[in-house]
Amino acid sequence: MSTGKIGVTTENIFPVIKQFLYSDKEIFLRELVANAVDATKKLQVLASNGEFKGELGELRVEVELDEKKKTLRIVDHGIGMTADEVDRYINQIAFSSAGEFLEKYKDQNIIGHFGLGFYSAFMVAKKVTIESLSWKEGEKAVEWSCEGNPEFSMKEGKKADRGTVITLYIDDEDKEYAEKGRISALLGKYCKFMPFPVVFGKKTEWKDGKQVETEEDNIINSVEPLWAKAPSELKDEDYLKFYHALYPMDEDPMFWIHLNVDYPFNLTGILYFPKIKERMAIDRNKIQLYCNQMFVTDHVDNIVPDFLTLLHGVIDSPDIPLNVSRSYLQSDANVKKISTYITKKVADRLEEIFKEKRSDFEAKWDNIKLFIEYGMLSDEKFCERAMGFALLKNTDGKYFSFEDYRKAIEPAQTDKDKKVVYLYASNLEEQYSQIEAAKNAGYDVLLLDCELDAHFANLLEGKLKDARFARVDSDSVDNLIPKADKVKPEMSEDDKKALQDIFKEALPTGSEWWVEPENLGENAPAVLITQSEFMRRYREMSALGGGMNFYGEMPASYNIKVNMENPLVAKIWESRKTVEDSPAGTDAEGKPTAAVTHSTAGKQKLLHQVIDLALLANGMLKGKALADFIARSESLLK
């Protein structure tokens, strides 16, 4: 028997392990099972190379729990270790058995992380033992023991069969890891796709109203997951079944992409486009990262482009570098290549559906629009590809490619600056009257009702030649096509100011109002409310992030177009002139006469009514103002 101190550069590694090395205690089980799988895989490689000529037996990993004794055992039948190897790989943890093994067998596909992974056991255990027997002929078994400090003991062991048994004596403060339910959940999370069977106890069945154990081993994993199979072997039902195994509560996905590449890096996986019910209620962390079928993390931000983190599915690659905890991705050239490859594959798949199944693509567009717009806004290469398959949808529910839509609207919707104007609405109900007015004038209106559309309109203005976007309630729509017969009202500057004062006094506070007299025709509304396209769009962008905060902090501003040719406006305006010009406007004491008072009150009611009608048409009349409008309407009807 020998004793000694673990060879590390720090005096005591265990506080470092517990506090800094791993972000979650629970990953100790993942590390230990992964090590057991590594050892099993290595034996398989030795046998295939002819170096190991004995019986392989049943290659599997067993996890055994004794809840009463609070012990947890991880058993493998892999290559095992000699006393020298235990000394090098456990006592002198600066070495890595996997590093040496990989150098020798670099053409084989092995996880290959031992080293510090073993020491994660001490995050939950007050004592850990190793019993091991090497595959090499003539070697003796070895036993190693440590109680969570730099002191260890090592002696010849009694183990008679090849492989390694790691036993954890769970400490009191972490007794949850001595509970069957907790261990079962962790194995399901981290080990459900390991490449060798992982056994945890026996299967159970209901008998006489009780759940009893059977004689059948409870294998918790699928050793050949769907992504490891060739796409040619699989049917749609296979992909759907696998999706629902990963996400039991979700609806069927719209479609999927099977990733399978072995050069210049190894990558397999399946990415699904989920159906989105509420566009702003999106789960990002639904792509699971595996390393040779061992779960690593569901935070894949550094591997998958940001816009594709909205997808669901699995990515598996041994070429993604991980730190010792396997939980955080490092910046690496391979990672960038993988990210570029995934983006390309997604673009290829979308383009394929667009070209070969256009009707299917259009049917799915409302659900995939968010992915594509987000991708075009955040990834330049994807944007270049997507310009060829992205769609525009108009308010009649028809879909167009960018090229087709421009051809359709260019003759009627080119402004005086020779720019094609893309009219759009963001809400079919709230902007109904403006949409109908635009359509009646012979214009087509797009529906841009996605949360990203303020940014997206900005992007397209830069990508499409000689184009600008204008919402149907913006101030720029009226000037879409210059009209030679349109004449401004003939009013003095004093009259214009008086008109502005009258209307501003009746308009709600809290916003800026710009009042302008216009001749819009006697059948046009008395008052039209429009906004600055530029200001409104940048306010929306600021609210989502990415816009300039300056615009987000400014009060909303609106343009009030007073239609001087509308009979109601004419009545309001004339009543004001009549009151001002009337010699009987005041009595002997200079007070307004009853007739004038009545006329003024009537004018004010009518003024508020036409303003409130305009506010109501724009969805801007709420609360007390709406109640006052209803009461006033009833009064006017009487």
pLDDT at 387 over 80: yes
- How confident is residue 372, by pLDDT bands cut at 50, 70 and 90? very high
Weakest-pLDDT range from 155-169, 190-204, 437-451: 437-451
Question: How many whole angstroms separate alpha carbon 467 and alpha carbon 462?
Answer: 8
> DSSP 3-state assignment of 387?
coil
- 279 pLDDT above the threshold of 80: no
pLDDT score recorded for residue 518? 83
Highest mean pLDDT among 161-175, 242-256, 490-504, 512-526 belongs to 161-175
Specify the pLDDT at position 144: 95
Answer yes or no: same fold for 231-350 and 363-470: no
In the chain, what are the domain boundaries?
Answer: 2-204, 231-350, 363-470, 493-529+559-637
Place of tokens 């090499």: 136
Higher pLDDT, 326 or 494: 494
Q: What mean pLDDT is predicted for residues 248-255? A: 90
The topology (CATH level 3) of 231-350 is: Ribosomal Protein S5; domain 2 (3.30.230)
3-class DSSP state of 539: helix
- Lowest mean pLDDT: which of 59-68, 115-124, 352-361, 625-634? 115-124
- CA 128 to CA 111: how far, in whole Å? 23
Pairwise pLDDT comparison (572 vs 598), residue with the higher score: 572
pLDDT band at 485 (very low <50, low <70, confident <90, very high): very low
In the predicted structure, residue 593 carries a pLDDT above the cut 60: no
Residue 18: what pLDDT? 58
Q: Burial-class residue 311 by CB neighbours within 10 Å (0-12, 13-18, 19+).
A: buried
Q: Is the pLDDT of residue 446 over 60?
A: yes
Average pLDDT over residues 321-338: 62
How many other C-beta atoms can be found within 10 angstroms of the C-beta atom of residue 286? 18
Alpha helices (runs of H) in 151-235, residue ranges in sequence order? 180-190
Q: What is the pLDDT of residue 415?
A: 85
Distance CA 409, CA 417 (A): 16
Amino acid of residue 41 = K
pTM over 0.75: no
Instruction: Quote the pLDDT of residue 528.
Output: 79
Residue 588's pLDDT is 52
Q: What proportions of the chain, in percent to the nearest 5, are helix, strand and coil?
A: 40, 20, 35
Amino acid letter at 136?
A: K
Please give the structure tokens belonging to residue 600: 């003024």
Report the relative pairing of strands 163-170 and 71-76 from DSSP bridges.
antiparallel
* Averaged pLDDT for residues 502-527: 81
Confidence class for position 569, pLDDT limits 50, 70, 90: confident
Residue 328, CA distances (Å) to 23, 25, 300, 303, 325 in order: 10, 15, 9, 11, 7
pLDDT in tens, 300-325: 877 888 888 889 999 998 877 665 44
- Please identify, in words, the CATH class of the domain defined by 363-470: alpha beta
3-state secondary structure of 396: coil
Mean pLDDT for 74-100 is: 77
> What is the average per-residue pLDDT within 11-16?
57
Pair of tokens at residue 486: 């349109």
What pLDDT score does 155 carry?
A: 94
CB 516 within 8 A of CB 562: yes
| Ramachandran class of 148: left when φ > 0, alpha when ψ lies in -120 to 50, beta otherwise | left
| Alpha-carbon distance values, 517 to 176, 567, 604 (Å) | 76, 14, 18
Secondary structure letter of residue 448 according to DSSP: -
Task: Report CA-CA distances (Å) from 532 to 258, 439, 470.
Answer: 46, 21, 9
- Give the pLDDT of residue 156: 94
220 Cβ neighbours under 8 A, 6+ residues apart: 184, 187, 188, 191, 192, 198, 199, 200
Residue 97, pLDDT > 80, answer no
pLDDT digits (tens, 9 = 90+) for 176-220: 999 999 999 999 999 999 999 999 999 988 888 888 888 999 999
pLDDT at 282: 59
Report, as an integer, the average pLDDT of 253-267. 88
Q: How far apart are CA 89 and CA 622, in angstroms?
A: 73
The CATH class given to the 2-204 domain equals alpha beta
